[in-house]
Chains A and B, each alone.
Chain A
Amino acid sequence: MAPLSDSELAQRALRVREHCIRMATDGGCFLGASLSCVDLIVHLYARVLTFDPARPDAGDRDVLLLSKGHDVPALYGTFAEMGVIEPGRLANHLSPDDHIYWHPNRAVPGIEFHSGSLGHLLSVAIGVALDIKLRDGGQKVVVILGDGECNEGSVWEGALVAAAHRLDNLIAVVDRNRFQANIETEQLVPLDPLAEKFRAFGWWADTCDGHDFGDLDRVFDATDEPRDRPAVVVAETVRGKGLPSIEARADRWFCNFTHEEIAQLLRELRGGGGSDLTSEPLVVR
């Protein structure tokens, strides 16, 4: 299969965003956090990870772990577009008869591990990376962390341990949308300068624009250079990216819109003007 061009990637990302928006009703989902990492996830599966959509559990695949978890609509949307799962299955969102809910469940093909409790999957990724090394495998493990998640001590404990074991097959990507749940990161527990913190912990680190496929190419190409340490990519992103009505808003983390609002947001995504959102902003947590 020919590699996707930047414009084809952008089209795929647009369709993934549509899937995410359609999940933000009848119970809703964490839309803001999902939209910030859509471009990242679409790019990773198209250009970084060795992954066969027809064989999501193939032994030679690279492994992607979604640590913050509540951004899983972006991953399900990507899987639907890649053919890992049937797109129609997304309509089962929140149904007790399927496993598609607010956090990942590995009963869904392509999902490597459940998450949602923050600060867990860097350590799980360390275990996977250690197993690959024991087998002399060449696969890599990519773990996507939320920036607010980096409040958790276990992230930094794992960062020390991964560096100590020189896990050069491990890449952490921080979805740096600059929001905790409902508060800007720098107003609560400041994280800047985040890349430098990881460097001080013994990691290779770089920063990029998490919505620019060219810049994502540049940074992930750089992670392919020989290293003797784990790598972190701090991807600068915008919460709610693609929907100016909710972009960078502290109160649009979890969203449960009316069907009319969903129709407006889908038009807005395609450049059809702003949305008139009257649903109560939800503050969760």
Chain B
Amino acid sequence: MTYEDHLFDLCQRDDRLVVMTAENRAAIRGLPDRLGDRFVDTGIAEMTLVGAAAGLALRGRVPVVHALATFLTLRAYEFVRTDVGIAGLPVKLVGYVPGFLSEANGPTHQAIEDIGVMRQIPGMRVFAPSCNDELLAGLGDVLADPHPWYIRFNDKPARVEHTDGFAIGRAETLRDGDEIALLVHGTLVGQAVAAAEELERAGRSVRVVNLRTLPPLDIAAVLAAARETALVVTVEDHLNTGGLLSQVCELLVREQTAAEVLPLGLDTWFRPALLADILRYEGFTAEAIADRVMTRWHARKATHA
């Protein structure tokens, strides 16, 4: 099933839902005809898009708002914070091509701080699906939840099988292991699982935890990874500030839990290219992730020896 079909089904079941966009229709091209007046396109006007969504939500609607992730979260940021955030309105912001998915667009289009800036708004929640299956599995819960949400849109085919049903605030453990824990979200989940398989072939026992919502973060899953393994690795196509690494480290400090943490994220904008080439260039293929983890593992063993 496509995102569009699933969203249309949800709209049919809940007449509070209104679909909006700033002329970014790629994933919802058929909805104008199917939804009629419940589809609102403001044109390329992200501030007005978000302000109008707040106005609709004020009247009891649940707007599902689509725009490119970087413009939705940054151009319209003060509207998200001030109109949606302060009022705590159930506006659902769907950011297209977040992180590495902006591919060759270049830094102007790279949403690599989107999770960080969204979670700075009190009450805002973030859903980072790893594929179309997970996007559809979580969409209904996210739209039904009374909080404002930012959805890091990802409708790529699944690279791993998701056996754990979706629940807000609950991580999915894709592999179990007790030496190394890979904490990951979104686009890089498939690479992380493949990296874990490589590491297992090299004799390591590796856990992979998919943090699907951040926040709310699955506190128990992160603390268990810190306590039960020797090395925690955060893997994300996001800046090392504000995203998964930040949330994990803040939690560990708050809980007075010591852990060795290897951050695999971004310190600046990535090299624009097609996705496979970005992964190679930036060191996020399964092989590169496994290499970086093994390098740390060996250095660590040398230190601890």
Contact = CB atoms under 8 A, between A and B. Distances in A.
Nearest to A105: B86
A203 B166 CA distance: 47
A196 B60 CA distance: 35
A132 B18 CA distance: 13
A197 interface: no
Interface in B51-100: 51-61, 63, 78-79, 82-83, 86-87
Contacts of A158: 45, 47-48, 51
Nearest to A129: B55
Contact of A123 (B18, B38, B50): B50
Contact of B79 (A112, A123, A161, A164): A123
B42 interface: yes
B40 interface: yes
B43 A117 contact: no
Interface residues of B, number: 29
B55 A131 contact: yes
Interface in A111-165: 112-114, 117, 119-134, 153-154, 157-158, 160-161, 164-165
Given A160-B45, A161-B52, A128 B79 contact: no
B61 to A, nearest CB: 6
Contacts of B60: 131
Contacts of B37: 133-134
B55 A154 contact: no
A227 interface: no
Nearest to B38: A134
Given A113-B87, A117-B82, A120-B79, A127 B45 contact: no
A270 interface: no
A161 B43 contact: yes
Contact of A127 (B43, B57, B86): B57
A277 to B, nearest CB: 34
A218 interface: no
A89 interface: no
Contacts, number: 95
Contact of B87 (A114, A123, A157): A114
Provide the main secondary structure of the chain B interface: helix
A117 B52 CA distance: 15
A55 interface: no
B61 A131 contact: yes
A259 interface: no
B19 to A, nearest CB: 12
A124 B91 CA distance: 13
B58 A117 contact: no
Contacts of A122: 48, 51
B79 A127 contact: no
B38 A126 contact: no
A128 B45 contact: no
A120 B52 CA distance: 9
A124 B83 contact: yes
A131 B59 CA distance: 7
A154 B48 contact: yes
B256 to A, nearest CB: 34
A161 B59 contact: no
Contacts of B47: 119, 123, 153-154, 157-158
Given A117-B78, A161-B45, A127 B38 contact: no
A130 B40 contact: yes
Of B50, B52, B59, B78, most A-chain CB atoms within 10 Å: B52
Given A157-B48, A158-B48, A161-B45, A127 B54 contact: yes
A120 B81 CA distance: 11
A112 B54 CA distance: 12
Given A154-B51, A157-B47, A160-B43, A127 B56 contact: yes
A126 B43 contact: no
Contacts of A120: 51, 79, 82-83
Contacts of B83: 113, 120, 123-124
Nearest to A113: B58
Interface in A37-53: none
Given A157-B45, A160-B45, 12 more contacts: A112-B58, A117-B82, A122-B48, A123-B79, A127-B58, A134-B37, A134-B38, A158-B45, A158-B48, A161-B42, A161-B43, A165-B40
Interface of A: 106, 112-114, 117, 119-134, 153-154, 157-158, 160-161, 164-165
6 contacts: A112-B58, A123-B52, A123-B54, A127-B53, A128-B55, A161-B45
Interface of B: 18, 37-38, 40, 42-43, 45, 47-61, 63, 78-79, 82-83, 86-87
